[in-house]
Structure 1
Amino acid sequence: MNQWVYLFSEGSKEQKDLLGGKGANLAEMTKLGLPVPRGFTVTTEACLYYLNQGNQLTDEMKMQVITAVKKLADQTGKTFNDAKNPLLVSVRSGSKFSMPGMMDTVLNLGLNDQTVEVLAKNSQNPRFAYDCYRRLLQMFGNVVMGMETADFEKKITALKKAHGLAYDNELTALHWQQIVNEYKELYRKKMNREFPQDPIEQLYLAIEAVFNSWNNSRAKTYRRLHDISDDLGTAVNIQEMVFGNFGETSGTGVVFSRNPSLGDRGLFGEYLINAQGEDVVAGIRTPKPIQVLAEELPEQFQQLKMICEQLEHHYQDMQDVEFTIEREKLFILQTRNGKRTSKAALAILLDLHKEQIINEKELIQRIEAKDLAAALHPNFEEQALQKRVAFLSGLAASPGAATGAAYFSAESATEAKARGERVILVREETSPEDIEGIAVSEAVITSRGGMTSHAAVVARGMGICSVVGCEHLNVLNESRATVNEEMIEEGAILSVDGTSGKIYFGEIPMEEVTHTVALDELQAIWDQYSTIQVRANAETPRDIATGLALGATGIGLARTEHMFFEKNRLLQFRRLILADNLAERLDVLKELKTVQKQDFKFIYQASLGKATTIRLLDPPLHEFLPKSSDECREVATELGKTFNEVERKTENLAEVNPMLGFRGLRLGVVYPEIYQMQAEAIVEAAYEVMEETGTVIQPEIMIPFTIDATEFAHVRQSIEAAIITSLASKKDSLNYQIGTMIEMPRACFVADEIAQYADFFSFGTNDLTQMTLGLSRDDSPRIISEYLDAKILKDDPFQVLDEAGVGALMKLAIERGRQVNPQLKIGICGEAAAHPKSIAFLKDLAIDYISCSPFRIPQAKMSLAQAKVASL
């Protein structure tokens, strides 16, 4: 017989797969002796069985639920439908992974026409009792029966208007009693049945509703966005009700053991007096900061603070804790690892390490690549920001900077994103139904809600900038809003500063972030755990400086072709290609050498003496030539040639498959003077920078697209002769290395032959992947997408290294190359090299370095350290 139900006293934190995160943590806190309302959990296995067997609770499940209810009655001294002390429970979802607000909850279950009277009598507070009953009717109608929440809210709005009242807390017991009657009538009309009075029937229906909510659209969307499996299911937690809406000595709130936006140590959260938990997270009322609780209920605040510290040490992570105070008695309803911004994630991990709550290896393993990337998101330029005046401000719920067009519904935001617009979602408050709109937005703004509202929690978890609780923002409808008397129309451009909570009209320029204190601390730790260096792919002084600032040990790939696409240089390069004879080519090369040498001097000055690999010209020549007849005429005029000459030469150089054509080293064979010029410019630039700065420079010259040892030796001999001639008059020697880029399968097979002449290999993963898989990187996204959907491929091979094919070729080339040249330096260039999955494979290949774009360097260094720690 399957055990479908577990009492809180029977579980533990290790059972998240079975009990869900919430259920496992409730069981764990019960074991710790914390003040947790008693209850039981219906397992995720029960959910999956239910969903796969026709959406019906089995008799065995029902029997186990009844047994658990009886045990709960024994523990609490309360029973369903009791005339003296009725049992009331909450019914909440809880999957293995936290999905805030995506699935359903029902509170106050067990109330009916009889027990509401008992609750009123026992509490001596009829207003409280009928408030609880109307909440049950509304939640049950919406969650279990699919009725619209707005239909219920209209009843309250109409009643307040009829009596000239502004707020819910002004309604009396008689008002709530009237609302209960109206809700029951609404239920009767919409559902063609009476609201169920039997608590057991209520419970079965609520459990089924929570199970069904696993497959609601917002839950599916959230799982897709967060890469959570659809096969996990949700548990259901049935828990004795405690009431935060019992009066002025009762309340409810959400508190984090550290600031989830910035990572600062100390309680961070909010609460409401005389409210139930949904009031806080729904953002309907703007709550008070948790520090105010120290003044209103100091004893309970101190107890809460101690419990949060205990939980943080126990779970070794920042905790998100839901609590309720019922008539001065504190209860803990939930704890989980808190959602946090990327900036906070890094700060919290470093602080937990400094406080000796986690060790260094745990610190390394728990860093996530997305947090590193997000921590380096651009901010507004400080000078530009100082010139602007914010028209609106609110609570800085999730840091960052974003600019986009204002949209006032999830649907319009999603449509705008599909048109290619950057979107700012502006809402009175967000709800779980808005998840699609939030996901496509650059930032989220709400007029209501606090730092723990749905908008704040979800935005932080998704790394989206957010400002909430903007009191002066009045959202009129789904196309406009006002701030004081100023109108914001749909499509208006806004700039949102999620760090300060300020919002501006118009676009504000951004600036890149290349340095944070947290990143510097992490770099120092990572470097202790990896012998593989990380270089940058960069050729401009700015990109080189960025790469070095982000921890690069040098430049692994400086592409010389990028230097020829500037307008004046492009014209000169076209003159070179269209030259009629060698003498004309040499004249042009003399001019190009001057500018190339200056380019290389900039590179060496920026790289500060660190290893720098410069790749000789790689693309096919036709890429530099005119693309149309009009452009041919323009070039002919500029170069003093006839249109026919230019057109003929362009046609002669055109190729059906240029990526496998006249490119790379083949240029050096047919036009040796081009590579000779580049090699001379490289060594002369290095020599001059050495003389000017005293910095030791050892140029690394890379010849691309090699397929044969004889071919490589031929080109090496050609450029080396030019280098020797160029340096002949220099008083000091210059050490240099000449290597090749391995990017063709044949080169891998004959790597032992090539290695006889090469000082280093650098694998070009992009071309090697293209050649090995027969997939064009530029034309294959649709094919790859189809293959990923069909599960033929596990990953995009241009993002994650194909271990079985490309990886095997690399391994073969390294082994064969090192057999004949043990000192052969091995590098890997390409974005796939920096992916964590690729690095887990590459760490065992005895490579010297990987090279990637500057902003992927921290991720690469992190992944190398994680791979090393995992192997210890």
Structure 2
Amino acid sequence: MDVVCLADPLPAGADATRLLGGKAAGLVTMTQELGLPVPPAFTVTTEVCRRFLAEGWPAGLDDAVRAALGRLEAATGRTFGGGERPLLVSVRSGAPVSMPGMMDTLLNVGMTPTVREALARESGDPRFAADTWLRFVRGYAAIVLGLPEDEVNHAAMHDDTPAGLLAAAGRVCALADRFGGIPADPFAQVTEAIRAVFRSWECDRARVFREREGIDGTLGTAATVQAMVFGNLDERSGTGVAFTRDPSTGARGAFGDYLARAQGEDVVAGTHAVSGLEALRSQLPAVYDELLRHLDRLERHYRDMCDVEFTVMGGALYILQVRVGRRSPLAAVRIAVDMAEDPTFPLTRREAVERVGAETLQALAKLGGVDPAAAPIGRGLAVSPGVGAGVLCCDAGRAASLAAQGVSVVLARPETSPADVHGMVAAAGLVTTTGGVVSHAAVVARGWAIPAVCSLQDAVVEEDALVVGGRRIAEGEWVTVDGTRGLLFAGDCRADGAADIPEVRLLRQWAAELAEAGPGDGAAAAPAGARPVSRFDVLRALGLKGLAAAERVAAVLDADAGAVEAELRAAAEAGLVRETPRGFAMLPAGRDAVLEALAAERAAIDPAAIDAAFAAFDALDREFKALVSGWQQAAPAEADAAWAAALSGLEQLHARLGPVVAQAAGLVPRLAPFAGRFEQALAAVRAGDRSMLASPLKESYHTVWFELHEELIALSGRRREE
């Protein structure tokens, strides 16, 4: 399946995101499940991308693309490449994992001088047609032909009149002619744009991003071809990006940017002065209300904060993209807690706890403040909270080099682009003089918890200095970025002490309660007919947990939950345990009974054999602790590399652990479920759940390891103090 029309049902068992990429999978959901206003589209799949990168343009793909374009014509009532109502398309990248701005997208494909004239007649606005023509040739020259952006931008300068726009387009075309030219055939434009999208999967900025985010480099990207809607058409048109909640603070309510009479690239590039969504509310209140309804529906469907791109054309609203939105660590916690506390929202407390990973909480713990006596030298938009300080640097390459030497750097740019990623990754703080809350700088900073301020007022970035309010700060001088309040300070003005965040305390409280109530951590109670268990089995497992529901005890024993609960209730009647609102707890008499049973069990085991099992485990124990500590103590900039190293080390350790667990279970059969518990935890870690390596509140690998260690200590007659 090379080309998929997004209005058609997918084959049974198809993974939409992996086949079509996240962007097109979202379009399928909005089109087929939610019935939202989405322009018709088709997707050239990730499978084709992988073949193209390995072998070149596949045979038969031209015919498939032509057929799909024909379906777009039928759906829109327009003609691609000509006619009185011409059809233009966008060609957008979209990987299975979100990589915002890292790959290429080309708008207004299918433009020719003849099409431009037809658009002018249809719209009655020669300026709109000339503007769209210039946008196309400019994008094609930079993205498909690879011309230097500064040369293209210089050639494209204009006075915003129809004549000026056409003259600028002519200069860009002349420049493009030196590098192969812009095809006069609209179909060739589409296929060349698809090729460019596929090639962008291997560009430097995408590679850097994938390495930083731990994304599989073999996934490839899809190329989605979608009928254009024009936010630059007239005064009742525009484009925007909306979050269903504030991605910086987590506050409820739509939050984003809107730019009247513009196309999407104008908003996300950070090169234009943008307005908030209130501008749309003032300009087109009915459209604003419709957008809010769609945002609420999308958030409830995805059960998470969503990032939505939209265009308004002639007063009609179109939704162009939806994805689960990137957010700051502070917003991640607040959103999860708020959703779980809302009885009308489809998110449980357990899901909220599982959604917030250890790295998020670690990032929050490091959020400091600014010395109250410090006076800011500049103000802008607070787009990514936190406080960061370092030497000022105005070039991404220099920032990356300094950071590699261990220097703390604050990167200042007029705006950022994907080409700045290598410098942004290393920065302790980020400042831009343009762009809004959904600009490239803001999105990337929030995703990596980099304190950031955008649209710094009265500021200019020079080659080697930042000038703020007439004050010149040279590269190498220290500055402090307060991304929580949108402030910039001269010098290192950080104050000690992390913020006390009530939502974090509540989330941790939920986590503790849920861990005690169990199972809910990836382990499921065994079905009826599972291995029988004794009173001792149940009490020993409960003793290792301390406090747990019957279901959790059954899950770790690989036993029937009903049988386990019956044993626990019988033990309660005998005064060995007590039942609490959060589960069963051991009583002193129960602990004494377990110690007595352990002594009897130990007496029946060959001491040399159990000592050998303990020694084999103890040798691995030292390695495992070093592995976990190395990952937990890694610097934030090294988190992904440390995780990769930890995962690799865990795989090797797990292979050597198997025979040890089998050896122990051969001596003490009730230890047999440990093998399955280790496998379950490792499967969750492999699937990307980092909390399942060492979270003490889950059936993580470390939890299972700790409990087996306790068993072997007791069975070999040792004490933990030893």
Q: TM-score range by the shorter chain?
A: 0.7 to 0.9
Cα distance change on mapping 1:459 and 1:116 into 2, 3 Å: same
For residues 9 and 219 of structure 2, the distance between their equivalents in structure 1, rounded to whole angstroms, comes to 18
What residue is the counterpart of 1:70 in the other structure? 70
Distance in 2 between the 1:443 and 1:771 partners?
A: 33
2:12 maps to 1:18: no
Identify which of 470, 476, 482 aligns with 1:491. 476
Counterpart-to-counterpart distance in 1, 2:662 and 2:626: 14
- 1:332-383 alpha-carbon deviations (Å, 9 max, x no partner): 11111001111111111112212232123322332222212112113125xx
The corresponding residue for 1:266 is: 253
Aligned pair count reads: 586
1:238-387 correspondence runs (5 A): 238-355=225-342, 356-380=345-369, 384=371, 386-387=372-373
Tell me, in whole angstroms, the C-alpha distance in 2 between the residues paired with 1:766 and 1:432.
Answer: 43
Q: 1:291 to 1:72 in 2, by over 3 A?
A: same
1:446 has 2:432 as partner: yes
Which of structures 1 and 2 has the bigger CA Rg? Answer: 1
Aligned 8 A contact 1:751 1:817 in 2: no
User: Tell me, what secondary structure is at the counterpart of 2:503?
Assistant: helix
Relative distance call for 1:221 and 1:770 in structure 2 (3 A) is closer
Correspondence list, 1:538-553, <5 A: none
Shift of 1:242: 0.5
Give distance in 1, aligned partners of 2:341 and 2:512. 18
1:626 aligned residue = none
**1:212–1:266 Cα change, 3 Å:** same
Partner of residue 750 from structure 1, selected from 597, 611, 614: 611
SS in 2 for 1:115: helix
1:770, 1:777 within 8 Å by CA — same for their partners in 2?
no
Q: What CA distance in whole angstroms lies between the structure 1 residues aligned with 2:241 and 2:413?
A: 22
Deviations 1:56-88 (A, max 9, x none): 2x2311111111001111111111222311110
The residue number in structure 2 matching 1:179 is: 168
CA–CA distance in structure 2, aligned partners of residues 294 and 123 of structure 1 = 25
Equivalent-residue separation in structure 2 for 1:346 and 1:233 (angstroms)? 32
Q: Write the distance in 1 (CA, Å) between the matches of 2:614 and 2:218.
A: 52
Aligned positions of 1:686-705 closer than 5 A: none
Deviations 1:541-594 (A, max 9, x none): xxxxxxxxxxxxxxxxxxxxxxxxxxxxxxxxxxxxxxxxxxxxxxxxxxxxxx
Shift of 1:842: 3.8
Distance 2:297 2:452 in 1: 30
Query: Is contact 1:532–1:847 with CA below 8 Å preserved after alignment?
Result: no
C-alpha change, 1:464 and 1:753, in structure 2 (3 Å) is closer
Residue by residue over 1:396-415, the C-alpha shift from the partner in whole angstroms, topping out at 9 and shown as x without a partner, is: 00001111011111100011
C-alpha deviations, 1:39-67, integer Å up to 9, x for none? 111111111111111x32x2311111111
Structure 2 counterpart of 1:795, from 630, 648, 667: 648
- What TM-score does the superposition give when structure 2 sets the normalisation length? 0.75
- Residues 85-109 of structure 1 deviation map (CA, whole Å, 9 limit, x = unaligned): 1110001000111111100011100
Q: Deviations over 1:503-522 (max 9, x none)?
A: 10111244242742112111
Measured in 2, the distance between the counterparts of 1:816 and 1:172 equals 87
Amino acid of the structure 2 residue aligned with 1:795: S
Q: Output the amino acid matched with 1:41.
A: T
Q: Structure 1 residue 505 and structure 2 residue 490: aligned?
A: yes
Distance change in 2, residues 1:514/1:494 (3 Å): closer
Return closer, same or farther for 1:341/1:816 CA change in 2, 3 Å cut-off.
farther
Distance in 1, Cα, partners of 2:350 & 2:471: 53
Aligned to 1:152: 152
Corresponding residue number in structure 2 for 1:743:
none
Question: Counterparts of 1:174 and 1:257 in 2: how far apart (Å)?
Answer: 41
Percent of counterpart pairs with the same letter?
35
Cα deviation, 1:702-733, whole Å, max 9, x if unaligned, reads: xxxxxxxxxxxxxxxxxxxxxxxxxxxxxxxx
Counting only pairs closer than 5 Å after superposition, residues 627-646 of structure 1 correspond to structure 2 as none
**Mapped contact 2:369–2:498 kept (Cα < 8 A):** no
Secondary structure of residue in 1 paired with 2:86: coil
1:151-193 per-residue CA deviation (whole Å, 9 max, x = no partner) reads: 1211244x5xxxxxxxxxx51001001111111111113x1x4
Per-residue deviation, 1:208? 0.5
The 3-state SS of whatever aligns with 1:179 is helix
- Equivalent residue of 1:10, what SS? coil
TM superposition shift of 1:471:
2.5
Does residue 836 in structure 1 map to residue 692 in structure 2? yes
Is the 8 Å Cα contact of residues 752 and 818 (structure 1) preserved in structure 2? no
Q: Which residue pairs with 2:203 in the alignment?
A: 216
1:542-581 aligned within 5 A: none
Contact 1:81–1:199 (Cα < 8 Å) also in 2? yes
Going from structure 1 to structure 2, the CA distance change for 1:414 and 1:748 (only over 3 Å counts) comes to farther
Q: More deviation in 507-516 or 13-22?
A: 507-516
- Contact 2:26 2:321 survives alignment (8 Å): yes
Read off the aligned partner of 1:33 and give its amino acid letter: G
Distance 1:752 1:142, change over 3 A: closer
Q: Distance in 2 between matches of 1:513 and 1:171?
A: 50
Paired with 1:500 and 1:72, the residues of 2 have a C-alpha distance of 47
Q: Hey, what's the Cα distance between the residues in 1 that align with 2:391 and 2:248?
A: 24
Distance in 1 (alpha carbons) for counterparts of 2:620 and 2:407? 30
* Cα gap change, 1:463 to 1:807, in 2 (>3 Å): farther
CA displacement 1:97-136 (0-9 Å, x = unmatched): 1111100011100111111011111111111111111111
Task: Give secondary structure in 1 for the equivalent of 2:81.
Answer: coil
With over 3 angstroms needed to count, the CA separation of the structure-2 counterparts of 1:375 and 1:751, relative to structure 1, is farther
1:36 equivalent in structure 2 = 38
Preserved contact between residue 459 and residue 467 of structure 2 (Cα < 8 Å): yes
Instruction: String of CA shifts for 1:267-303, please: whole Å, max 9, x gaps.
Output: 0001101111000000111200112321111011000
Measure how far apart 1:766 and its partner are.
9.2
CA contact (8 A) 1:78 1:85 kept: yes
When residues 846 and 389 of structure 1 are mapped into structure 2, their CA distance, relative to the original with a 3 A threshold, is closer
Q: Offset at 1:327?
A: 1.1
Name the CA distance, whole Å, in 2 between partners of 1:236 and 1:175.
33
1:847 aligns with one of 678, 683, 707: 707
Counterpart selection for 2:453 from 462, 467, 472: 467
Counterpart selection for 2:508 from 523, 547, 550: 523
Report the Cα offset of residue 247 of structure 1. 2.1
Alignment CA distance shift 1:407-1:813 (3 Å): farther
**Partners of 1:28 and 1:254 in 2: CA distance:** 19
| RMSD between aligned residues | 3.4
CA offset at residue 21 of structure 1? 0.5
- After superposing the two structures, state which structure 1 stretch, 364-373 or 483-492, moved more: 364-373
Q: Is the 8 A contact 1:769 1:806 kept in 2?
A: no
- The reply to whether residue 142 of structure 1 matches residue 131 of structure 2 is no
| Contiguous gaps of at least 5 residues in structure 1 | 160-169, 534-745, 755-762, 820-831, 851-872
Where does structure 1 differ by over 4 angstroms across 4 or more consecutive aligned residues?
A: 11-14, 746-749, 751-754, 763-767, 770-773, 791-794, 806-819
Q: Could you say what secondary structure the match of 1:93 adopts? A: strand
Deviations along 1:649-697, one digit per CA (max 9) or x if unpaired, are xxxxxxxxxxxxxxxxxxxxxxxxxxxxxxxxxxxxxxxxxxxxxxxxx
Q: Displacement of 1:248 after TM fit?
A: 1.6
Partner Cα distance (1:41, 1:59) in 2: 17
Deviation for aligned residue 1:806? 6.0
TM-score by length of 1: 0.63
SS class of match (2:7): helix
Cα distance change, pair 849–521 in 1 and its aligned pair in 2 (3 A): farther
User: Residues 765 and 78 (structure 1 numbering): CA distance in 2 closer, same or farther, change over 3 Å?
Assistant: farther
